[in-house]
Structure formats: structure tokens, C-alpha cells
Amino acid sequence: MSSPLPELPVTVEAWLSYIESLHPKTIEMGLSRVQAVADRLQLEFPFTVITVGGTNGKGSTCAMLESIYATAGYRVGCYTSPHLVQYHERVRLNGDLISDEVLCTAFTAVEQARAEIALTYFEMGTLAALWAFEQQALDIVILEVGLGGRLDAVNIVDADCAIVTNVDLDHMEFLGDTRELIGHEKAGIYRQQQIAICGDADPPASLLRYAETLGVPLKRLGVDFRIDVSDTQQAQYQDAQGALAIGSLKLFGDYQWQNAASVIYAVQALQARLPVKQDDLRQGLAATEVVGRFQYWQRAPDVILDVAHNPHAARALRHNLQQLSADGSRVFAVFSMLSDKDITGVVDILHEVIDEWHIAPIQHPRAASVGYLQQCLADRVGGRQLQAHADLPAALASCYKKAAKNDKIIVFGSFFTVAAILEITPELWISPN
């Protein structure tokens, strides 16, 4: 006589607590476990799939694609990670966050299918998202790679179109400590006889070799397509098929135009399957907003949220801040990072464009301590430019009290840093006049 099944969680919060306990490691690379459970679930992926990998810009690229196809009238699913405030942000169905009911049902389906197979938190969530998408009769699904590409859970899906936004140093303990090693891992999302796009103007040779070995005609920014942006932030996209004028973006930064170029190429390449009118493409791009990607959260003084957490993203952030502070305004930083990230590399890039650093710990097991943050900043920032606080809301409140109306406050260093600010209300940090 078989033993009864254990009682399953009934709320999203209980499910998330449960799936955190399923595997001894937070990250374990490999596809065998995920593929085995996907087979048991009989996942068929009956929709067009675009997979997006890369070091930075994945979330923005996914958001652009989602916006364009939704504007064109298609039924769209989108899976991204990590979330900022609530888990539901990871799974969107036709522009809406997944409901508690659908998410719990999806977790139940995966739990019943996995049986003895141990899945990580991300693997369980990925399978739940894919299962949920299959219940919705969607036209297109956009998948963001969690880490790397070749061995990431989303790579059990053979994407119809794969985009690598860029390749730089991050997650080196898993992917390797050079762009060549990391490029090989990122290129793992490409497939034979499918659309392969690279938005890095100078991709590592390993990525090019991977595509060549597959026999896939890789389409590259600056080679097969390009985008030119005027001083008025209007853009002209160009590829072998012709030119397309694009209006302005809500997303700030030159790198967002590079992301947009890869997105446009992908949409154009999929026209035979999913036709999109040029006006819908322009409108979808123009409407795209992404939380925490150089996002203005408050004005006068400006409070800007940015999840930049590696040197590649820090260089883009420095460029943006240089543009904004050209009027002589000061820049205050609310800053914290995880201890396994390249904190000194980020500080080296940004210390000259930030006038004051206000640091505090992230509430996370891998958080860098205040002492370690101070150590990383000490040789690059004078004592008067560095203040420590008990928590991130207190750091923001201190900056807000000091800043003049034309100054800038940049909150950055991690998804968790931005999340800590998004979870508070303005009354907690804006001091009364």
C-alpha cells in the first residue's frame, strides 16, 4: 500500500518557502533534472519562443519585446528574474502578473511531476512558468535566462529566436573568469536553423565560434544591423531590408538603444510567423518601462533606481550620471551590494562621478557587511564623502535631507538594494518641510 502524498502548500508564500527547501544549493547548473520533469509534465511549448541571454539588458530587452507584441494584439507570456517586490513579477500573462491561483496550481503540477527529483528554487519556478504558459493559449513567450545560458533551466526550450544582449564579467564562479569562457556559456541558447542575434558590438570569439559550429547565421549589431541616435533622441534603425525611423524611448541610456536594435531585428525576422506593423513596433518600443533600470522614482531632487551590480552595468550608469550632472548638480549614492559581486570594480568605475556615498546592509544572506563596503570604498572615497546607516531607507532619508532640488540621488548596487526602497512609502523617507 502506497504512502499518502504529503499535504501541499496552499498559498504562494507557503509554496515559496517550501521550494526554497527542496535543494541544498541555490544554484546547480545542468539541464538533466529540469528536462526530466518537463518530460513528465509533457510540456510541448506550442508557441513561438524568444529566449534572451546576456550579462546586462536582458530585462529591458524582454520588456520591449513584450510591449511590441502586446501592442500588435498578440497573446504574450513573459518570464523574467529576479523579482523586486513580489514573486508574481517573474511571470506575466498578457501584461498582467500571474494570479495566486494560477501560480499555486502551476507549483502543484510541477511538484506532483518531480516526485524524487530535487529541483532548485529557480528550476521549480521556471517549470511552473512554462506549465502556466501552456494553459493560456499564447501566441508568443519571452524567456529571460537566469544565469549563463547553456546550462540554464530556460534552455530546455528550443527557442525560435535567441538574443544575447552583451557579454561581460559576472557570475564568474559559475561561468568562468574571462569574456571568452562566459561568451561560450551565453551562446548556448542559440539553435540550428533558428534566428540567432548578438547585441554586443565586440563579441568574444568563443560566441562566434559557437554559432559557426552550429552552422547558424549569427546576426550582429554593427555588422548586420545598426541604430543611429540623434541629439534629440530620435533613432534610425538600418538592416539589409531597409531603414526604420524610431521615436524616443522612455528607457534612459545609450545601451537601451542597442537593446532596441536587437529587438527590432528579432521582430523583423519573425514577421512571417508573427506580423507586426511598423506603427505597432514604434508604439510598443516607446511605451516600454522597466522598474529599476535607471528609473526616476521621485523628482526635485531626482531619486533614480538602478539595479546595476557589475562593472559592465556600472560603466553604463557612469555615462548616464555624467550626462545628468553636467549642470553642476551633485550626485548622492544609496549603495549596497552582495558580497560575491565585484564591489571594488564597480566603485572604481563610479567613484569619480558620485559626490557622497551612503551605505547600508542588504537584508540577504549574501549581503556585504557595512564594514566590507567601507573597506572597498575607503581608498577611493574620502571620509567626508562616506556615511554608513542602519538600513537603506535611512540612507535614502539622509540623502534626501541633504540634496538640493536639482541634485540627483542614485539608488544602486543590487536588485535587493532597489527592492528595499520600493517596499517603503515616501512618508518614511521624505522629511517634512
Q: What is the pLDDT of residues 200-249, one digit of tens each?
A: 999 999 999 999 999 999 999 999 999 999 877 789 999 999 999 998 89
Which residues are 356's β-sheet partners?
Answer: 332
In this prediction, residue 23 has a pLDDT band, given cuts at 50, 70 and 90, of confident
* Residue 431 pLDDT greater than 50, yes or no: no
Run of H or E including 305? strand 302-306
Q: Which three cell numbers stand for residue 192?
A: 540550428
Residue 203, pLDDT score: 97
Residue 268, pLDDT score: 97
Any idea what DSSP says for residue 188?
A: G
Whether 355 and 385 have beta carbons less than 8 Å apart is answered as yes
Residue 89 exposure: Cα atoms within 13 Å on the Cβ side: 14
* Alpha helices for 187-234 (secondary structure H): 205-214
Instruction: Kindly state the average pLDDT of the residues 45-69.
Output: 97
Q: Whose grid coordinates read 536588485?
A: 415
In this prediction, residue 3 has a pLDDT band, given cuts at 50, 70 and 90, of very low
* Residue 183 pLDDT greater than 90, yes or no: yes
Q: Whose grid coordinates read 537601451?
A: 256
pLDDT single digits (tens) 276-314: 999 999 999 999 999 999 999 999 999 999 999 999 999
384 vs 9 pLDDT, higher one? 9
3-state SS assignment for residue 119: coil
Instruction: Kindly state the average pLDDT of the residues 362-386.
Output: 90
| Contacting residues for 357 by C-beta, under 8 A, at least 6 apart | 333, 335, 377, 381, 385, 386, 387
Residue 170, pLDDT score: 83
- Distance (Å, whole) CA 316 – CA 253: 7
In this prediction, residue 424 has a pLDDT band, given cuts at 50, 70 and 90, of confident
Any idea what DSSP says for residue 45?
A: -
User: pTM of the predicted model, to two decimals?
Assistant: 0.93
Mean pLDDT of the chain: 93
- Distance (Å, whole) CA 358 – CA 360: 7
Which residues are 239's β-sheet partners?
Answer: 225, 242
142 vs 424 pLDDT, higher one? 142
* Residue 144 pLDDT greater than 60, yes or no: yes
- Distance (Å, whole) CA 53 – CA 187: 8
Residue 266, pLDDT score: 98
Amino acid in the structure at residue 147: L
How far the first Cα of the chain sits from its last, in Å, is 72
* Residue 6 pLDDT greater than 80, yes or no: no
pLDDT more than 90, % of the chain: 84
In this prediction, residue 427 has a pLDDT band, given cuts at 50, 70 and 90, of low
In this prediction, residue 326 has a pLDDT band, given cuts at 50, 70 and 90, of confident
Inter-helix orientation angle 121-134/32-41, to 10°: 30
If you compute the radius of gyration of the chain from its CA atoms, what whole number of angstroms results? 22
Strands 225-229 and 235-239: antiparallel
* Residue 433 pLDDT greater than 50, yes or no: no
* Alpha helices for 165-219 (secondary structure H): 172-175, 179-186, 205-214
- Distance (Å, whole) CA 349 – CA 360: 20
